């Protein structure tokens, strides 16, 4: 069973108070390691553990005087630590040892929430696809009737797209779940690498192999690209469902509550608003991904150009991506499917969607390709010109077919169902 995470969990991860709680955790872990090396008194570490996480309001108050968030945080934290112990806080560290290591921990947790939502979406798509595997409908290319397919097959395409996004997100999580506690310009001049190892191991993080004082920003860009790719996959699902909800089609419909009102002026309207929202959110995610790429290049060992940007794009991208994945799973899970409408549309072009199958039959019988193609095309042109059924046009051309039932032309697509069932096994 795939757990469903509520959206406030994601927002809470990026709240100021949560960030300061993670910073305290990093400071305590670093001091533990320093104590193990004999450089910080054990009693000082105990005082740090007893101290409260500073309130975000207090940090903000101090920052008005200091104009430096990390120094303001440290001042607020040390207000609750005896002076003899407070002087050991942050020993040998630089600001971004704290900031980036804590950020790696937060991003890993946030990506885990997003991955859980994406897995739920995958499971929902697979379940609905298998439920409607034999629900025959028209396949469309260029927006035009092409050949028969099934609604389950259509959803299976999206299930595998989400599965690929999960693979990308998993790799991006590994890339971004790193920290560095290496001191100014990343040389370990004033801090032992053992401190970094202790901190990162305790937080479940890897270590930046050659730190420049900050964690390399191509890692964060990789995560933003993966989130945007998932968003694009969800957009494709939503776009498909929007198109299938058009008045002329109405093969599916979003779930409506009793409170639903589609228009202030037209009471009959039933608009695909959820699908439309999902498409709009994907545009935001692409913008965040582009901006993350701009953050990769920093001056020398570090600058601060990326910091103000990341305060927006990192929490927003992961929150939007998570919200989008949860909403998409809800949309698919509660979707009304109308098999009778799908079946009815099979015949709206008077059998023309079977033209390629008839052509394949003729070729199998040994008819020369150009002759077969022209004969079937002439029959199709007759149907378009007169409205007579395609079978009548084929008869005029002397072409005999056994049946034009759509199921006849779907005999081998169960091999795809077998592939789809492998995804279900991942979530069982």
Are 128 and 32 in contact, with CB atoms under 8 Å apart? no
Backbone angles phi, psi at 411, to 5 degrees: -65, -25
Place of tokens 């995804």: 423
% helix / strand / coil in the chain, to the nearest 5? 65, 5, 30
Active-site residue numbers? 142, 263
End-to-end CA distance of the chain, in Å? 7
Annotate 208-239 with b (16+ C-beta within 10 A) or e (fewer).
beebbbbbbbebbbbbbbbbbbbbbbbbbbbb
Cα separation, 27 vs 85, whole angstroms: 13
Question: Minimal CA–CA distance to 27: which of 102, 80, 81, 79?
Answer: 102
Question: Minimal CA–CA distance to 180: which of 94, 100, 90?
Answer: 100
3-state class of 193 per DSSP? helix
Are 338 and 329 in contact, with CB atoms under 8 Å apart? no
Cα separation, 131 vs 313, whole angstroms: 38
Q: Which residues in 190-276 belong to E strands, given as ranges?
A: 206-207, 252-253
Cα separation, 165 vs 167, whole angstroms: 5
Place of tokens 């039932």: 405
3-state class of 140 per DSSP? strand
Four-CA torsion 186, 187, 189, 194, nearest 10 degrees? 80
Contacts of 242 (CB under 8 A, 6+ apart): 272, 275, 276, 279
Are 26 and 98 in contact, with CB atoms under 8 Å apart? yes
Are 122 and 62 in contact, with CB atoms under 8 Å apart? no
DSSP single-letter state for residue 52 = P
């Amino acid at each position: 069973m795939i757990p469903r995470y509520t959206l406030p969990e994601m927002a809470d991860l990026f709240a100021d108070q949560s960030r300061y709680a993670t910073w305290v955790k990093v400071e305590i872990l670093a001091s533990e390691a320093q104590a193990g090396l004999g450089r910080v008194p054990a009693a000082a570490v105990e005082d740090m553990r007893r101290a409260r996480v500073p309130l975000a309001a207090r940090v903000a108050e101090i920052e008005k005087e200091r104009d430096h968030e990390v120094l303001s945080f440290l001042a607020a934290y040390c207000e609750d630590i005896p002076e003899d112990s407070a002087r050991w806080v942050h020993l040998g560290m630089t600001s971004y040892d704290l900031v980036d290591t804590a950020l790696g921990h937060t991003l890993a947790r946030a990506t885990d929430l997003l991955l859980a939502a994406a897995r739920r979406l995958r499971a929902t798509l697979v379940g609905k696809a298998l439920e409607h595997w034999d629900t025959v409908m028209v396949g469309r290319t260029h927006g035009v009737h092409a050949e028969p397919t099934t609604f389950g097959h259509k959803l299976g395409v999206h299930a595998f797209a989400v599965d690929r996004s999960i693979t990308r997100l998993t790799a991006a999580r590994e890339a971004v779940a790193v920290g560095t506690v290496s001191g100014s310009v990343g040389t370990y001049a004033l801090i032992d690498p053992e401190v970094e190892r202790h901190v990162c191991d305790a937080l479940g993080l890897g270590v930046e192999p050659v730190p420049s004082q900050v964690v390399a920003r191509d890692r964060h860009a990789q995560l933003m690209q993966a989130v945007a790719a998932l968003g694009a996959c969800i957009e494709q699902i939503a776009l498909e469902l929007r198109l299938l909800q058009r008045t002329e089609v109405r093969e599916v419909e979003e779930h409506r509550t009793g409170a639903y009102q589609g228009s202030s002026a037209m009471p009959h309207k039933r608009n695909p608003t959820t699908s439309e929202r999902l498409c709009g959110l994907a545009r935001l995610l692409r913008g965040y991904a582009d901006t993350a790429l701009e953050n990769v290049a920093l001056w020398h060992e570090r600058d601060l150009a990326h910091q103000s940007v990341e305060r927006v794009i990192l929490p927003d991208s992961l929150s939007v991506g998570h919200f989008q994945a949860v909403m998409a799973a809800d949309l698919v899970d509660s979707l009304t499917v109308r098999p009778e409408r799908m079946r009815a549309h099979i015949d709206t072009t008077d059998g023309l969607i079977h033209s390629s199958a008839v052509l394949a039959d003729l070729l199998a019988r040994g008819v020369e390709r150009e002759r077969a193609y022209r004969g079937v095309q002439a029959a199709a042109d007759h149907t378009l010109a007169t409205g007579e059924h395609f079978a009548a046009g084929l008869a005029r051309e002397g072409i005999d077919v056994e049946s034009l039932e759509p199921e006849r032309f779907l005999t081998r697509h169960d091999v795809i169902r077998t592939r789809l069932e492998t995804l279900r096994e991942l979530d069982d």
